[in-house]
Chain A
Amino acid sequence: MRILILEDDMLIGDGLMVGLQKLGFSVDWFTDGLEGKEALYQAPYEAVVLDLGLPGEDGISILKEWRAKSRKEPVLILTAQGDVEQKIFGLESGADDYLTKPFALAEVAARIKALVRRHHNQLDLVLRHGDLIFNPKTRTVTSASQNIMLAPKELLLLELFLLNKGKVLSKTQLEEKLYTWQEEVSSNAIEVHVHNLRKKLGKNIIKTLNKIGYLLGDE
């Protein structure tokens, strides 16, 4: 799951990035408001973590612009302003959730997952496909009650297919969702991951549509 973090405090930003990566997210982190705002238009993010006091442009006006331009990515606001009025103002400006500093990393991760789940209208805590069950919380996969060991990127890829049932995802889209700008992507990385998923979960788990992209197979 690729998420965008806009936070100008070096220690908090670094902690969020490293910590969320450890919890299985792909993270892009910006300290400047303007750069961070543009980033959302450049890559497909599942969610945004937004600090309000940003240099360049403040969090609230960034959020308003995104919403005005019909960006629907769920936004979690992180701020030191803890009073109710501030929270209401943030939520009414288009935020989906609000966390006051100091916060626990695990709570940030849990809230992001909940926001993404809600965004995809998925009320079940686990993702199902036939007898395959993906648990986003524990990041484990079982197929016919058998535990399947998947590499971190394979887990991310499988999660993407499960969240986008019936949608065709292009190779470029998948690359963007899987990799941050800091990571180098080899030209056949997606093919390799798809190959591995098919090997571990059965050939029919993912369908290939020539020159268009990939699609989750039938149940």
Chain B
Amino acid sequence: MKKLSLQLRLILSFLVISLGVGLCAGLMSWYETKEEMDEFFDTYQLNLARQLASADWNNINHKTQKKTNELIEALDDDGEEEEEAIAFAVFTKQGKMIFNDGEEGKHFVFSPTSGFANQQIGHKKKNKWRMIWLESIDGKFYVAVGQELDFRQEASLEMVLQSLVPWSVGLLFLITFTLFLVRKELLPLKKMAKTLSNRRGDDFSEIDTDALPSEILPIVDEMNDLLERIESMVKKERSFISDAAHELRTPLAALKVQLDVLELSKEDEKSFNKASQNLHQGIERSAHLVEQLLALSRLETNHPSKIALKQIDWRKISHEILTFYQPKILQKGLRFELQLSDASPIEQGNEILCVLMLRNLLANAILYSPEKSEIKLKITQRAITLENLCALTSKDFARLGERFFRPSGQKEMGSGLGLSIVKKIAEIHTCVVNFTLEKGLFLVEVERNNDKNFKNLP
């Protein structure tokens, strides 16, 4: 289910809590008011009953009653009087009503009690009344003063409701204000969302953090960091693609020109054969370049954590690779000196990548060593070391390991990616590659990276 917006949730919960609290407060105040009102009206009723009880009722007859009724009816303005507010009647001991207030009191039924009681009155309305019965001072009469209970309740409710009015207005104002405040505070977020949605896919510029609430700032800062990282990755990717495209031009040019020569040599068998042989060589070179490109691109895109690790047997790997290159080694009359041990800087690793790394290193050494020279391969716990003679200028040496860099004038068909691949694989295995060149002796060392800040991320 879609989560409600922060704004809506805030306002809803605010509303529910306010109403809950308001309801509780109202109920409590209604209960309190009712108690107070009961006390107040009871006192009032008792006072009235006492006054009536102390009056002299001996001379009262039906004429007095009639006169009273006429007087009440003649009143033009009876103030804010309510019929149910208070009523009374006077009875003889025998239960005969001799006088009443001319209104509700005439419906009173003779049923004296001691003290207050809630009684049903024999009137068409079946409402309960609060009644007090008192004996008159002379002991001949009963005085009854009553008040309708509904009236009391309505009066208390009215008082409570009236006290709630300013509170409700306050609540309404508070909700409006909160709504406005939340909207205002969230406006920069909305603005940011809009800017982001209008952003081009290749726009990696920082998100503006001005006017953003401090609660959101850390997220935006992190997003800016992420943008920066993505930008550098995209840049790397782009330059890789452009480098790769550029590097493919040379082998393609070779293929094209050799094919042109082949077509021109239809009647010249010797030249035709040479061009055909060159074409084969050129295609092999292109295939090798593409293979290396794919290897490097896979290394770039795979996160090291996704690479399966296992125990690496460097002896086995070294012998396999050397067997593979045996024809070339014999052809150039190279000598090999091997110093292998069971320990190595990469004990746990990915076998395919480790083979690829050592193969690239050995292939380079075999390719660039002068004829009849010696190549030394040493694997110790500290490092994998490869040493060979190499005619490399110091200017070219400084650029080794750069993608697609090949010292110019190479007669050998390299892709210029071998050492980049070696570096990348070493990095994935938390190792570094060091190159040194001294008096024509080229030394490559793959050793563990002891820099604690080193992150083996692509």
Contact = CB atoms under 8 A, between A and B. Distances in A.
Contacts of B247: 80
B335 interface: no
B259 to A, nearest CB: 8
Given A80-B247, A100-B249, A105 B260 contact: yes
B364 interface: no
Nearest to A22: B264
B282 interface: yes
Contacts of A141: none
B343 interface: no
B125 to A, nearest CB: 102
Interface residues on A, range: 20 to 34
A54 B409 contact: yes
B409 A56 contact: yes
Interface string B75-98: 000000000000000000000000
Given A101-B252, A102-B255, A19 B260 contact: yes
Contacts of B252: 101-102
Interface stretch (A4-12, A69-77, A131-139, A189-197): A4-12
A18 B247 CA distance: 24
A105 B257 contact: yes
Contacts, number: 87
Interface stretch (B37-45, B101-109, B270-278, B306-314): B270-278
B408 interface: yes
A102 B256 contact: yes
A157 B204 CA distance: 64
A103 B253 contact: yes
Chain B contact surface mostly: helix
Contact of B258 (A11, A56, A78, A80): A11
Interface string B401-420: 00000011111000000000
A134 to B, nearest CB: 22
A31 interface: yes
Contacts of B255: 11, 102
A15 B250 contact: no
A16 to B, nearest CB: 6
Contacts of A19: 257, 260-261, 264
Nearest to B264: A22
A58 B409 CA distance: 11
Interface string B226-259: 0000000000000000000011011111111110
B265 A22 contact: yes
B111 interface: no
B281 interface: yes
A175 interface: no
Nearest to B245: A82
A54 B408 CA distance: 6
Contact of A12 (B254, B275, B410): B254
B285 to A, nearest CB: 8
Interface residues of B, number: 29
A55 B258 contact: no
Given A11-B281, A22-B265, A106 B260 contact: yes
Given A12-B250, A80-B246, A55 B409 contact: yes
A61 interface: no
A51 B208 CA distance: 48
Contact of B271 (A22, A56, A58, A106): A22
Contacts of B278: 11, 14-15
Contacts of B254: 9, 11-12, 15
Contacts of A54: 408-409
**Max count, chain B CB within 10 A of own CB: residue among A31, A56, A58, A105:** A105
Contact of A23 (B250, B258, B264, B271): B264
Contacts of B258: 11, 14-15
Given A18-B275, A31-B409, A56-B409, A12 B253 contact: yes
Contacts of A31: 409, 411
5 contacts: A11-B278, A14-B278, A19-B264, A55-B407, A102-B256
Interface of B: 246-247, 249-258, 260-261, 264-265, 268, 271, 274-275, 278, 281-282, 285, 407-411
Interface of A: 8-12, 14-16, 18-19, 22-23, 31-32, 53-56, 58, 78, 80-82, 100-106
Q: Which 6 pairs of residues, A with B, have the shortest CB-CB distance? A: A55-B409, A15-B257, A105-B260, A11-B254, A101-B253, A102-B253
